[in-house]
Amino acid sequence: MAISRQCALLQLNRSTVYRQKKRHQGEIDPRDQALLQLIDEEYTRHPFYGTRRMKTYLCAVGYRVNRKRVQRLMRTLGLEGMAPGPNTSKAHPAHKVYPYLLRGLDINRPNQVWSTDITYIRLPRGFVYLVAIIDWYSRKVLSWRVSNSMEASFCVECLEDAITRFGKPEIFNSDQGAQFTSDSFTGVLIKNGITISMDGRGRALDNIFVERLWRSVKYEEVYLKSYEGLPSLTLGLKQYFEFYNEERPHQSLNYATPDRVYRTAIGGGAKIVDKFGERQQASAA
């Protein structure tokens, strides 16, 4: 039976039927859930995919979508082809930017270089943000925090926790996002006498080890569990990072764990080489 006829029988205005229920800010349309998940996972595998390639991929796996819809969904996730990652690195024009200091640097001991970044994690009713600090030599995750907003405070809290528990690094590297260039964040580094280094704009590989950490977190934990809310996600990440540091062998560490390499200062190391405009990573045995 036509909707107009149903409304006439029930004495309802058709606008009542057609009116779409308002969603809360950040809430995802249920019709887009599956597509957002596929786009998120495919982008993590192939971050060079733009809207055209992503549309082709979605059609190949059985979804009838046009490019305009893919563009909207990728904007929702903050993704662009060849971008360094999700849209979590918005700069603030009034904040000071520091030069990148790791090019060609031989990293040969724990606490020589720490690094940080933010990624997003998709939940059924929106997104939350994960920040982590790692030691470049050992790949050990020193501290992490989850937040439902992009305020700098949860990044500052993560930094202060890492310093309290593990001491001070010689160099601290981040991207140029407003959280890391804020006075509250850089102030902690300056107060502790830590040299500040920041990635170049659009240079995703300047922070390659944190980018690889995000890939591991998403494929080995988040995508497998499909968390329903922040409490369960926080508990799951706690268990995963304990596993990542203490049990998971890393090929680049000669199959040692980050925790062991951090404690013994044996088997880690990293060097970034910039040659002919290409960035290459080599791990020291």
Q: What's residue 178's pLDDT? A: 86
Cα 265 from Cα 267, distance rounded (Å): 7
Predicted pLDDT of residue 194: 96
Tell me: do 115 and 9 sit in the same domain.
no
User: Buried b / exposed e across 21-33, counting CB within 10 Å, b at 16+?
Assistant: eeeeeeebeeeee
191, 71: one domain: no
Do 217 and 240 contact (CB within 8 A), yes or no?
Answer: yes
Going across the sheet that includes 113-123, the strands are 141-147, 126-135, 113-123, 171-174, 195-198
Contacts of 86 (CB under 8 A, 6+ apart): 77, 78, 79, 119, 120
Whether residue 72 is found in the same domain as residue 110: no
pLDDT at position 115: 94
Q: Is 100 helix (H, G, I), strand (E, B) or coil?
A: coil
193 and 55 assigned to the same domain: no
Residue 139 lies in a domain: yes
Residue 94, pLDDT score: 56
Q: What is the pLDDT of residue 93?
A: 56
Give the start-end residues of each E strand in the chain: 106-107, 113-123, 126-135, 141-147, 171-174, 195-198, 270-275, 278-282
Tell which of 59, 77, 95 closes a domain. Answer: 77
Give residue 194's domain range.
Answer: 106-282
Same domain, 161 and 276: yes
pLDDT at 170: 96
- What is the model's pLDDT at position 206? 56
Of the three residues 40, 57, 77, the one that is the final residue of a domain is 77
* Residue 44 shares a structural domain with residue 154: no
Half-sphere CA count of 227, side-chain side, radius 13 A: 18
Instruction: For residues 60 and 134, state if they share a domain.
Output: no
pTM: 0.67
Q: Are residues 265 and 124 in the same domain?
A: yes
With respect to residue 95, please indicate whether it lies within any of the assigned structural domains: no
pLDDT at 81: 64
Contacts of 21 (CB under 8 A, 6+ apart): none
72 and 115, same domain (yes or no): no
- Dihedral, CA atoms, 73, 76, 79, 81, nearest 10 degrees? 30
Closest CA to 246 of 226, 231, 227, 260: 260
Pair (141, 264) in one structural domain = yes
- Whether 160 and 188 have beta carbons less than 8 Å apart is answered as yes
Residues 165 and 57 in one domain: no
pLDDT tens sequence for the chain (285 residues): 888 888 888 888 888 777 665 555 456 677 788 898 899 888 888 777 888 889 999 999 999 999 999 999 888 877 776 544 445 555 545 558 888 888 888 889 999 999 999 988 888 777 889 999 999 999 999 999 999 888 899 999 999 999 999 999 999 999 888 899 999 999 999 999 999 999 765 455 557 788 889 889 988 998 888 788 899 999 999 999 999 999 999 888 888 999 999 999 887 776 554 433 333 333 333
Q: Give every CB contact of residue 275 below 8 A, 6+ residues apart in sequence.
A: none
Torsion sign over Cα 268, 133, 194, 272: positive
Please report, for the domain that includes residue 273, its CATH number: 3.30.420.10
Residues 127 and 247 in one domain: yes
Q: Decide if 52 is inside a domain.
A: yes
Residue-level pLDDT at 27: 60
Q: How many domains does the chain have?
A: 2
| Residue 187 located in a structural domain | yes
Does residue 188 lie in a domain region? yes
